[in-house]
């Protein structure tokens, strides 16, 4: 049926029965909380309706008797008249739940949702003479359902840590869809606590959002700044006249907003998080539903912002923890690397290399020694940086600061604005190298791109503190090792003498780093009547006492051998000296002492072995003999027990003497090198190259191959080869 066909025909008075029926309808539905309308005939003339009907459609009650299609023309395009036609024609009722209708005059339309029933009406003889409409508006319920769904969706976003901007923008759009005449804005508290920053406002123009971004929190700063300051809701019904908007009125009117209600967003402890604002394009005061909507979404915004800040704080804490772990790892790795350097200058040079580029692109290290300050290490990430470090103007500038740090023992930071002669430098820091209360050097880091931050300076200070101790220890180590070497050298012959008819070779390898004087020694010296004395021995222990004992043994042997024409008597004199000068610490000595003399055809050697490693004789033909006359350690008894032994050495024969540091050298699995491997090394040397030097080299190579370079005991060896 067309819309025109639904228009009224000639006016016809309703029958009396209809009037009675309408009166009954009015009595029944006028005060009922439902929408009621009685429509007559195929044109659906409005015969009766209650106040709820006219309020719902937004029309005047005076228009009773008109076709409903003329009274509410918007129903036609939404299919309502077609439904009425079908019910009137078929007599079959129609029911619908949650139907959506747009009602009202153009420009004032509202969206409504209804549960509706269209029932056919019969006259006295059973014919269909109209349709009764009964409806319940469910708009509030529908909006509440949508609101709850939107709130659930937002809470789910918060739970899965969706980006804050996404949550706030989604919230604003959801509210604006529920209330199309509303514009939503959220501002966030700046970290400084004194300003508001843009959070979201998808329906406000960019120029407006930019204008209020960073607005101060305070009285008279629009609705939002004032609300944030007062910590309470601020309602401005008309922006054009309200004094709170004096400074922002022009930009607000240009943006087309006329009213603004702002609510502070606070966390559970009352701290300000931001503001939630609802704008309108016409002056307007909020209704109860608007205030309820604002309260609900303000709470959700607070949850979202709190969650976002908690996540940010957690991430920041994780980043700080990660950075702390990285800093600690850097310091530990750098310290370990520096510790590997056993020499003072090497340790500081390694420190300089490790800081570039990890801490800065340029580094220099200065130290003070014997009253003079000098730069002993530099490091640069590029060749240009190295040239910059060497520039006289920069060196002079840094030297002045270094002098201040050496005097004060405190870190000095120099910013780019403090000097102008070095355009390539953005600043530098000089960190003291201090140990045992004394500042002996300065670590300088120079920045060429970004200025040095506090974290870098703190790392440099920690590294300098550790490196200073390591370098100082290395300095003491170097001095101690030098002293030990000098003292050890004084206990050994400066060089081996030349013996007619024989050649000599010897070697000495201290245990560990050679920090303590060892007890191994050897000596060769001339005697009257063209004789020669030679000896090799081992004093138990290390250090000063071992050095003193070694010196006493060598001195006693040299004096006694010139006075006593008997090797046994010389060894007895050494034993007497040891026992007569005994201290609380027993000093035992193993010794092999011999006196060499020439015969017409060969060399004759008389030996005394006192608890020492048995001497070996390697013959010219390559065979090896062991000399093992009995004898106990010296320094144990005042009456030593030993037996002299004579040996003839012909051309090509060699006497091999070693200390127990050679035979007791250990492999990685703890096995001793032993006398058998020593013999094998001598046998493997061959006959063509069996000189004293070659045999020493063969022994040394065999021990090193077996036990490695590190030794637990001093090693000494001496070879005499007959010519």
- Number of H helices and number of E strands within the chain? 19, 26
C-alpha to C-alpha distance for 707 and 666, rounded to whole angstroms: 5
C-alpha to C-alpha distance for 716 and 659, rounded to whole angstroms: 5
Q: How many other β-carbons are positioned within 10 Å of the β-carbon of residue 24?
A: 12
Do β-strands 589-598 and 624-626 pair in parallel, antiparallel, or remain unpaired? unpaired
Phi-psi region of 200 (alpha: psi -120 to 50; beta: other; left: phi over 0): beta
Which residues partner with 439 through β-bridges?
434
Residue numbers of the chain with a pLDDT score lower than 50 = 1-12, 514-515
pLDDT given for residue 8 in this prediction? 45
Let me know if 523 is exposed, middle or buried by CB neighbors in 10 A (0-12, 13-18, 19+). buried
Residue 118's nearest CA partner among 85, 150, 141, 140 is 85
506 contacts: CB under 8 Å, gap ≥ 6: 496, 522, 696, 716, 717, 718, 719
pTM beyond 0.95: no
Contact between 247 and 212 (Cβ < 8 Å)? no
Residue 575 tokens read as: 């034993």
C-alpha to C-alpha distance for 232 and 244, rounded to whole angstroms: 15
pLDDT tens-digit profile of 447-493?
988 889 999 999 999 999 999 998 888 777 665 555 555 555 555 67
**Cis ω for the linkage preceding 357 (within 30 of 0):** yes
pLDDT given for residue 138 in this prediction? 86
User: Nearest-5° angle of CA 714, CA 720, CA 723?
Assistant: 160
- Calculate the dihedral angle through the C-alpha atoms of 381, 386, 389, 390, rounding to the nearest 10 degrees: 170
Let me know if 564 is exposed, middle or buried by CB neighbors in 10 A (0-12, 13-18, 19+). middle
C-alpha to C-alpha distance for 298 and 291, rounded to whole angstroms: 10
C-alpha to C-alpha distance for 204 and 413, rounded to whole angstroms: 48
pLDDT given for residue 405 in this prediction? 96
Contact between 651 and 602 (Cβ < 8 Å)? yes
Residue 312 tokens read as: 């940010």
Contact between 300 and 154 (Cβ < 8 Å)? yes
CA distances from 628 to 250, 641, 663 (A): 116, 14, 15
Which residues partner with 528 through β-bridges?
none
224 contacts: CB under 8 Å, gap ≥ 6: 185, 187, 196, 212, 215, 234, 260, 262, 275, 277
C-alpha to C-alpha distance for 570 and 522, rounded to whole angstroms: 16
């Amino acid at each position: 049926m067309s819309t025109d066909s639904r228009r009224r025909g000639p006016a016809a008075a309703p029958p009396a029965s209809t009037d009675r029926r309408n009166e009954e309808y009015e009595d029944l539905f006028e005060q009922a909380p439902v929408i009621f309308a009685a429509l007559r005939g195929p044109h659906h003339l409005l015969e009766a309706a209650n106040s709820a009907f006219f309020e719902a459609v937004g029309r005047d009650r005076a228009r009773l008797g008109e076709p409903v299609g003329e009274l509410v023309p918007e129903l036609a395009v939404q299919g309502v008249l077609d439904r009425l036609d079908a019910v009137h024609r078929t007599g079959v009722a129609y029911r619908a739940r949650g139907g959506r209708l747009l009602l009202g005059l153009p420009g004032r339309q509202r969206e409504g949702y209804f549960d509706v029933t269209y029932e056919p009406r019969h006259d006295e003889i059973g014919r269909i003479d109209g349709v009764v409409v009964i409806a319940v508006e469910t708009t509030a319920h529908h909006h509440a359902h949508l609101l709850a769904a939107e709130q659930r969706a937002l809470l789910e976003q918060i739970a899965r840590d969706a980006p804050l901007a996404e949550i706030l923008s989604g919230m604003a759009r959801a509210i604006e869809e529920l209330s199309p005449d509303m514009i939503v804005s959220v501002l966030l508290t700046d970290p400084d606590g004194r300003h508001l920053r843009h959070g979201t406002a998808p329906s406000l123009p960019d120029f407006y959002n930019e204008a209020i971004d960073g607005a101060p929190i305070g009285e008279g700063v629009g609705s939002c700044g004032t609300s944030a300051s007062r910590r309470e809701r601020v309602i401005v019904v008309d922006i054009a006249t309200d004094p709170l908007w004096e400074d922002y009125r022009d930009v607000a009117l240009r943006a087309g907003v006329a009213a603004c209600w702002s609510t502070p967003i606070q966390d559970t402890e009352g701290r300000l998080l931001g503001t939630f604002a609802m704008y309108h394009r016409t002056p307007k005061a909020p209704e109860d539903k608007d205030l309820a909507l604002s309260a609900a979404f303000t709470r959700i915004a607070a949850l979202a912002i709190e969650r976002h800040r908690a996540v940010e704080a957690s991430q920041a804490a994780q980043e700080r923890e990660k950075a702390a772990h990285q800093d600690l790892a850097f310091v530990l790795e750098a310290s370990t690397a520096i510790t590997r350097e056993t020499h003072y200058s090497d340790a500081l040079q390694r420190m300089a290399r490790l800081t570039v580029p990890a801490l800065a692109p340029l580094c220099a290290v200065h130290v003070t020694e014997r009253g003079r300050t000098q730069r002993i290490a530099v490091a640069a990430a590029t060749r240009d940086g190295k040239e910059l470090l060497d520039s006289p103007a920069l060196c002079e500038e840094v030297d002045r600061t270094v002098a201040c740090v050496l005097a004060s023992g405190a870190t000095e930071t120099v910013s780019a604005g403090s000097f102008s002669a070095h355009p390539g430098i953005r600043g530098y820091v000089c960190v003291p190298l201090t140990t045992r209360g004394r500042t002996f050097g300065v670590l300088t880091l120079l920045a060429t791109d970004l200025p040095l931050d506090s974290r870098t300076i703190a790392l440099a200070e920690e590294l300098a503190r550790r490196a200073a101790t390591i370098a100082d220890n290395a300095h003491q180590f170097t001095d101690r090792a030098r002293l030990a070497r000098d003292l050890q050298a004084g206990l050994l012959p400066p060089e081996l003498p030349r013996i007619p008819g024989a050649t000599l070779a010897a070697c000495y390898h201290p245990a560990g780093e050679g920090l303590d004087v060892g007890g191994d020694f050897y000596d060769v010296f001339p005697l009257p009547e063209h004789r020669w004395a030679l000896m090799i021995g081992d004093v138990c222990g290390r250090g000063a006492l071992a050095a003193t004992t070694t010196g006493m043994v060598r001195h006693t042997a040299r004096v006694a051998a010139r006075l006593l024409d008997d090797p046994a008597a010389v060894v007895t004199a050494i034993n007497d000296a040891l026992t007569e000068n005994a201290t609380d610490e027993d000093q035992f000595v193993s010794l092999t002492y011999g006196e060499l003399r020439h015969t017409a055809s060969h060399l004759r050697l008389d030996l005394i072995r006192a608890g020492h490693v048995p001497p070996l004789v390697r013959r010219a033909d390559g065979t090896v003999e062991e000399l093992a006359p009995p004898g106990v350690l010296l320094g144990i008894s005042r009456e030593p027990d030993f037996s002299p032994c004579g040996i003839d050495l012909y051309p090509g024969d060699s006497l091999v003497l070693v200390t127990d540091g050679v035979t007791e050298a250990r492999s990685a699995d703890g096995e001793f090198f032993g006398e058998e491997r020593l013999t094998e090394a001598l046998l493997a040397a061959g006959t063509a190259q069996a000189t004293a030097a070659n045999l020493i080299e063969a022994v040394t190579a065999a021990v090193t191959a077996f036990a490695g370079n590190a030794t637990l005991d001093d090693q000494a060896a001496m070879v005499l080869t007959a010519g």
